[in-house]
Structure 1
């Protein structure tokens, strides 16, 4: 459990093209850890454009960012730029060296991989990109939240909330995690049973792969292979 008399520094990487719920979902949970201090870090302190049509202003740049107790990398289409940016990858390596927890949501795991932080680890990502994990020496485990040592990766988007509650329970205890879950009324009952390839209608899965994910995964694979 964390000592609430000391600050517990949580650092989220921000970048243009971020999927905002990858960040805001877990941030809403993790900020309620006793003693939590949330930092949003980007290369420059200027508005970061999200995938939802609004921008987020980072709280710090890389140079001035405090050492993370928990480092979290969200995903999004902008991850293709992240995995090619040496300054960002070096920032992740530097922060990971002193962090108690190294974490990601969705395709944020690919950034961890590009930074060399997933070698030999079990990990996950958004369902459409899990096949890319092996390119970084990681082994995909089929789960919404995967923990391997101090590396914790979450599946796509909404999995970030599950990951955050899992981490809260480890850091502050299950009762704190349950209290946070209750305060957020996190009691999902989706109107459709279509949230994972295992349960979605085949035609829906085919449509999403053909229109969106197959090309994006192929483009990312090409970028990774060129590095």
Structure 2
């Protein structure tokens, strides 16, 4: 779906800012809902019979996931949407604006891939609290919210003067890290089932960091705060229904 969103660059040179804000809000809502329904709630259920209080593995994993993304945010140069080249975060670099934009979305996609991989790894391991339906619901939700991400990368690059094909390739390139992270997450869970509550909550913490640090602020920058908020509500509702219906 990242590639599908990036392909909008072949249809138009710019996406309406109000539409982009609502799509970013929608993506934020999906990720918030997925963090709870598909990750934290199963983590709490799985930890019920463990040696620690049920909330402890979820808390440890959640905070570790957020801190992991915060560390990556500090050590890898990147540029959030809507900011000038001079406002890039992380160490100083000579990277071009296009590379910095793609890097930012790539960082964003790491927890999404981990979440999907952990969910499918848990299903493959035969863990009752983490069924195949829930993993499919999570993958669908993440796939849906990848659409605006692809557009959010390719359209600004096209507006900056890059050829359509190059803007499209860079837009979809940002999603390459997701399957890699998914495989790593699945392998880790299958290899060490006892880590599952920590892994699920780790992915949740990383996703919430991305939502609060990136998606919500970017969805509000255009001034369409109500529209972005409605988009977030819609995204949360869609992900909640998917998880409950399929899980």
Same fold (TM over 0.5): no
- What TM-score results when the alignment is normalised by the length of structure 2? 0.28
Looking at both structures, which has the greater relative contact order when contacts are Cα pairs under 8 Å and sequence separation is at least 6?
2
- What TM-score results when the alignment is normalised by the length of structure 1? 0.30
- Max radius of gyration: which structure? 2
* Structure with higher helix content: 2
